[in-house]
Amino acid sequence: MSVLVTGGAGYIGSHVVRLLQQRGTGVVVVDDLSNGRPERVGDAPVVQLDLATDAAVPTLTAAIAEHGVEAVIHFAARKQVGQSVAEPARYWSQNVGGTANLLLAMEAGKVDKLVFSSSAATYGAPTTPLVREDGPAEPINPYGQTKLVGEWMTRAAGRAWGLRAANLRYFNVAGAGWDDLGDTAVMNLIPIVFSALDAQQAPAVFGDDYPTPDGSCVRDYVHVLDLAQAHLAALDHLATDDRPHDTFNVGSGTGASVLEVLAEVRAVTGVDVEPVVHARRAGDPPQLVADVERITTTLGWRATKDLHDIVTSAWSAWRR
C-alpha cells in the first residue's frame, strides 16, 4: 500500500509520514513547500505542487499512477484564523479549490480512501462545555467555513463515486514527536511564545475578558504525536466495511486556558513569562474542548500525553 500525503513536509504531516515509514508503508509527499521542509520526510519522494493551481489535477493523477497510491491523507491548507478573516477569498481558493482538485485526481486515479484534515473551527463558538461531532457546526470565520465545506465535499464524493472518508476535526495541536520535527512556522500559541522569549519580548494574550475562569481563551491541546497516531487509526478504519461515522474529534478532552499554557511554559523553561494583554482577535471563540467518546469507541484512539508533555517536547525541539 502506498499513501499520498498532501502537506506531508509540514509540521503535522511530517509526523504522519514518519509513522507510516516506520510501519513499512510507502509514502509520496505532495507539498508546495511554503512552510514544509523536504528534509523532514526522509527518503519519501516529494512532488512540489500548489493544489489550487490548474496543474494540480494532472500532476496528482500522474503521481497516483506512478507510485501506486491506494489512499490519501490531506493536510495541505491555509490555517490561520485571523488571516482568513482578512483574506477570505484566498482561503476559499486555496482550501476549497485545493480539495476539489485533489478529489478530481482521486476519482480519476480510482483512489477511494481519504483522511481529511478538518478542524474544531467548524464548531464556531459553542455554548456547551464539550463539543460533540453531532452538535451544531456553525463556523464563525472563513477558515472554519472552508474546513466544513471540505467535509461536505468528501461526503458528496462518497455518494457520487464511493469515496471512503474520515474527517478529523483537530483541536489545538502542539508539541513534537521528535526534536527534528518541531513546529517552526510560529503560527500557533506555544511556538509564538517561544519566539517572543528568544526575542526577549513579552508574549501577547489576545483578550482577558472572555467568559472563562481566568478570562483568557480555553482550548483543548493535543500532542502532535497523538494526533499523528489518530491518522493511522483513521486510515485503518477506512479499510473496514463497518464505518458508522465519518467525522471524529481529535483532542485530549481537557481544556487549558492561554494563561495556563503560559504558566506551564514558565515551569518548563524557567523563563519568567509575563504576557501583555491585547484586544480580542476577530473570529476567536471563548472555549473549544473536545468530546472524544466517538473516536475512542470507534477507532480505539485516545490521547496519551498531557500539557506538560506537550510543552516539554516543544521546548526540546525549539532549542534544537
Contact (CB, 8 A) for 163 and 111:
no
- The closest alpha carbon to 221, from 269, 266, 188, belongs to 188
143 is catalytic: yes
Contact 146, 92 (CB under 8 A): yes
Is residue 16 within 8 A of residue 232, CB to CB? The reply is yes
Q: How far is CA 95 from the centre of its chain?
A: 13
Q: Cβ-count burial of 61 within 10 angstroms (0-12 exposed, 13-18 middle, 19+ buried)?
A: middle
Question: Per the residue annotation, which of 11, 91, 123, 143 is the catalytic one?
Answer: 143
Q: Report DSSP letters for 68-104, one per residue.
A: TEEEEEE--S---HHHHHH-HHHHIIIIIHHHHHHHH
* Distance (Å, whole) CA 69 – CA 189: 35
Catalytic positions are: 143
